[in-house]
Structure 1
Amino acid sequence: MKSSRLLSILLLLQTRGRMTAARLAEELEVSVRTVYRDIESLHAAGVPLYGEAGHAGGYQLLDGYRTRLTGLSVPEAEALFLSGVPGPASELGLGSALAAAQLKLRAALPPDLRVQADRMRGRFHLDAPGWYAPDDDVRHLPQVADAVWHGRVLDVRYRRWKAPTDVDRRLEPYGLVLKAGRWYVVAGPGPRTYRVDQILDVTVREEEFAPPDGFDLAAYWRDYQADFHARLYGGEAVVRLAPDAAARLTGAARQALADTGVTESDGWVRAVLPIESLDHAHRTFLALGTDIEIVEPPELRARLTETARALAARYAAG
C-alpha cells in the first residue's frame, strides 16, 4: 500500500540518512519513477525533505525531523515485541537495555496497538536452545561483543577438538551469530568461525581493525553452513523405508526423503539418504529396526546384517 511505502521511505531516510532514488527503489522493490511520485507526495504532505543532484546526492530529511511510531500496523507491533528475546540479550549484557527499550516502545504505541503487543508478549515465548543440551558457558560473550562493536583485536585462549586442544589465537572479530542457542564469533584472519563457549580466556587489545571491504556476515554464514553440510554428509545410502518410518527421520534425511523418495508397489519408499559415515549411519539406521532395509552401500548392509544376527543369537541364547 502507498501509505505503508511512504512511511517506509521516511524511516529509511531517518535511520540511514541520505539515500538516492535508485537505492530507495531497490529497498522498497519498486521502480525509480514510483519513488519520485512518493517523494512528491511527502513534499505535498509537508514533510521537510530535500534532494541534491550529483554523484553524492540523494534525498535527505532536515536535521531534527523524526516521525513517530503511529504508522505501525498491528502485525508490525506484534513482531517487534516478539523479536525481543531476553535470553540472548542477557547473555550479551543487554538485558536491562532490552527491557527499557520495550518499555519506551510500548509507551509510544497507540492504545489499540499496545493491547495487541501485550497480548502477543503474553502468549508467545521464544526459547531458542534445544532440549537435553546443557547451557553453554558464555561468560566471555560481553567482552567479545564489545570488541565486535568497537573493532578491537582479541587475544584468546581457545579449546578445540584436536590436539593440541588449548591454543592461543589473535582474532579480529567481524561479527557474532546465534545459531540454535549457541553463540559463534566470525573472526579474521580467514575469516574462521569459533564457538564462544570454547573461549577459555580473553583479553581485549587497544589495537583496532576494520573488517574487509564488502564483508557480509549473513552471506558468510550462509556459505559456511552450506560448506559444513557438504563436508558433514560425505556419503549416501540407498534405503527402503516402511510407510511409518518416514515420520521418524529428521534433518537432512527427512529432506532427502522428500526430494528422492519413490513409493514402490508394496508401499515401502525407496530413497537416497545422506550419511556422515558408516559408523554414524549404522547407529542411526539400527534405531529404525525392521522398518528400514539398506540397499546400498554393501558395506553398510553387511554391518547391519551382522548386528542383526548377533542380536538374534543373544536373545535366542537367553
Structure 2
Amino acid sequence: MSITLFRTLEMLRHVPREPRKITTSELRDRLAAANFDVTLRTIQRDLQKLSTVFPLISDERDHVFGWSWSRDAQVETLPGMDAATAITFAMAEEYLRDMLPSGVLELLAPHFDQARRVLDATDNGLNTWKRKVRVLPRSQPLIAPDVDPEIAQSVYDALLNDRRLKAVYRPRGREPREYDLSPQGLAFRDAVTYLVASHRDYDNVLMFALHRFLHADVTDEPARHLPGFDFDEWVQRGGFDADRHGEAIQLVAQFDMAVGDHLHETPIADDQHLARTDDDRLELIANVKDTHQLRWWLRGFGPDVEVIEPAEIRDWLIEGARQQISRYADASSGR
C-alpha cells in the first residue's frame, strides 16, 4: 500500500463531523505527529479531490477556514461493521437513549444508522434480536437534559487529548462564570453527565453537569495533572458524595422477607451476611460506604426495612418519616 494512501486514510480519520471543523494547519500537525511530512498546499489539494468522492465540506464563512464531514454522512468503518457489532450498537441505542444527553446521541447517530443498515441486510437471527431483548431499569427513569452537541464534543476532546478547556458555566441557582478547566474524568449518573475537573491551578476537583455549560472551547494548553489524583479511586471513595465522603460503615438492616429476598441473588457487598430473624424478617449485615445512593436505596423500601445500625442512618430515616407524616397530616387537615 502506498504512502499516499496511508496518509489519506490518516487525514480522513482526523476530519470531524459538522458543525465542528479542522483547519489544514491542524491537519498538518496531526499528520506530522503520525510521521507524515506534507505541505499545506498538498493537504488542501487532497481535500479538494476527496470532496468529489466523499461527503466532505469546507467552511469559508469566517477567517478560520476548515473542513468537516457533512452532518448526515454515513459512517463506513474499515473493516466494515459486522452483525455482532451492529446488534451491540442497536442495543446500546435502545438502552442509552434515556441515559445520554441528546447531543451525545446525535454524535453517535451515524453509527446507529449504520448498525440498522447492517441488521436490515442480515439474513439470520440477529436482525430480530432487538425485538426480543429489553433492559428494564429498577428505579424510575429520568429524561436526560439537553446538552449542546458542540459543547459535549469539546468536553470529550479536551478529556481525550489532555487539553485545558475554557468554559462558561452556570451553577444551579447562580450566575454564569468563566472557568479554566483541566478535565480529570467523565461520569454518567442517572440521566446527567458530569465532567470532573480542576479549575486553574487549584488541586481540588469540582463536578460540572454538561447541560449547564453555556460555552466550551478546547485550548492548545496541556491539562494540569493533579499530583496523586486517581479518578477511579476518587469515585470509589465517594467523590460524588462530597458531603458524606463515603465513610466505611457496617450496615445492619432488617427487611420484610418478600422485599429482601433479592439480596440472596444480588448482594449489596461481597461480605454480606443474611439470616432469618425470630419475627420472620431477613437481617442483612454488610460492610458498605455511607453514600447518598445507599441512603436513597434504603429509603426506597419505605416501611419494609428497619435500619438497626449505624444509629446515624437510623435516625436520619426516622426523622424523614416524621417529616413525611407531618406533611401528609397537614395536607389532610387542610382539606
Tell me the TM-score normalised to structure 1 length. Answer: 0.49
More helix by share: 1
User: Of the two, which has the highest radius of gyration?
Assistant: 1
Question: TM-score under structure 2 normalisation?
Answer: 0.47
